[in-house]
Structure 1
């Protein structure tokens, strides 16, 4: 491995580590919650309101849900 290849590998690793660190560190928003937040934001900014979101139907439990809980 030449010095140029090593430097390129180190630069790529640094770039990947930088990109991997980007993002939001919070739980994911459900589509319903995102729609509610968008509506509140539109009200605050005096913009046309998006349609009122419908409340989601409660999920039924599935036999394999215990694996991911």
Structure 2
């Protein structure tokens, strides 16, 4: 029997383990939580980079969501 993923990020293609660990360490386990964060906030996490951000952006867009607009 296949085990269900423990968070939304396990199934995102192109999201490497360091980025998954960074999100988990920040308490972010669901895709919807990303819409409450700006890209700048996430890029401050150790393990997050341009490739991970692109994968997350695509996953959000596929669900009709986006990152929070930055104020900077």
- Give the TM-score normalised by the residue count of structure 1: 0.27
Query: Which protein shows a greater Rg?
Result: 1
**Which protein has greater RCO, CA pairs closer than 8 Å, 6+ apart?**
2
